[in-house]
Amino acid sequence: MLAKILRRIERTINTRQAYKFFLRDWQSLGDLKECAAILSTLRYRQTLEPLEMTAPRGARIVCIAPHPDDEMMGAGGTLVRARRQGASIRCVYLTSGRPADEVEAETLTVAGRIGYQTEFLRYQVHGIPLNDDSLRRLAAAVTADRPDCLFLPFLFDDHDDHRRANQLLWQAYRQGLIGDRLEVWGYQVYSPVISNVVVDISSVAEEKGAAVRMWKSQIANRAFDHYILGLNAFNIRLLPKARYVEAFFVAPLADYCDLCARYFRDPASAFYNPAYRS
């Protein structure tokens, strides 16, 4: 019991340190390339030591994936470990990828293998709307099972659809459509994160890679399994004893949405896609 209390205190301290880092050093940064360049140095480790966890403590997890395969690439090892510990998982896909029918079929196969539920909102890639209907749909999908933890791509991940997911979450929260009891786990797909939580996925890395390869339509153009496990191997700088590590920025929903509010106050500086800049 004492160990659990100490871990909870440590996690709270790390969360607040990471949050203060953003407020102190990142408020003036609006361009993703500069953000990613700063992140890639990992200099934040000088003042912030990530907390190692085996999986989220929540029993109910919802994961927002802008495209099918994002959830497995960004947090697949952690989700596998959570399932083995008895957590229920539902993944909400904002788009169905391309080609949609083929990708959805592949996604259902992966979900069946790992053991999580799926929901497709079927917006267009590079065309995820931000309006009352999309906010209500997202909020309904996120809150359906009264989850404890919410996974989504980290705020600064290098894809406009990934950042759009964060903008949707923030606006839904801002309008009171999503309560603040959720704990947010920002995962990495393309860009490093300010990591206050790391998960050693070495024991399930092979299963993660095999799952990513099941999206045959996607790996036909790029070896995403090789890419993502390479990124996870790079993350051992955060946890030297491991072989593969997933890194997360974890914060209460209210704090996470406060960061989103600062970033999206000028959408023109947050996106490259003209459709998202207004």
Mean pLDDT for the chain? 89
User: Do the Cβ atoms of 202 and 62 come closer than 8 Å?
Assistant: no
Count CB neighbours of 199 within 10 A.
28
Q: Say which residue, 193 or 41, is predicted with more confidence.
A: 193
Residue 15 reports pLDDT greater than 80: no
Count CB neighbours of 46 within 10 A.
7
Mean pLDDT, range 24-36, rounded to an integer: 55
Query: By CB neighbour count within 10 A (0-12 exposed, 13-18 middle, 19+ buried), where does 93 fall?
Result: buried
CA distance 231 to 127: 28
Q: What is the pLDDT of residue 42?
A: 67
Of the candidates 76, 115, 125, 79, the residue with the CA atom closest to the CA atom of residue 227: 76
Residue 129 reports pLDDT greater than 50: yes
Tokens found for residue 267: 């959408």
Beta strand 149-153 with 183-187: parallel, antiparallel or unpaired? parallel
Mean pLDDT, range 271-277, rounded to an integer: 92
Tokens found for residue 191: 């860009």
Instruction: Give the domain ranges of the chain.
Output: 2-271
Query: By CB neighbour count within 10 A (0-12 exposed, 13-18 middle, 19+ buried), where does 251 fall?
Result: buried
CA distance 116 to 90: 6
pLDDT digits (tens, 9 = 90+) for 260-269: 998 898 888 8
Tokens found for residue 203: 């024991």
pLDDT digits (tens, 9 = 90+) for 71-115: 999 999 999 999 999 999 999 999 999 999 999 999 999 999 999
pLDDT digits (tens, 9 = 90+) for 155-164: 989 899 999 9
User: Would you say domain 2-271 falls under CATH 3.40.50.10320?
Assistant: yes
Mean pLDDT, range 114-140, rounded to an integer: 98
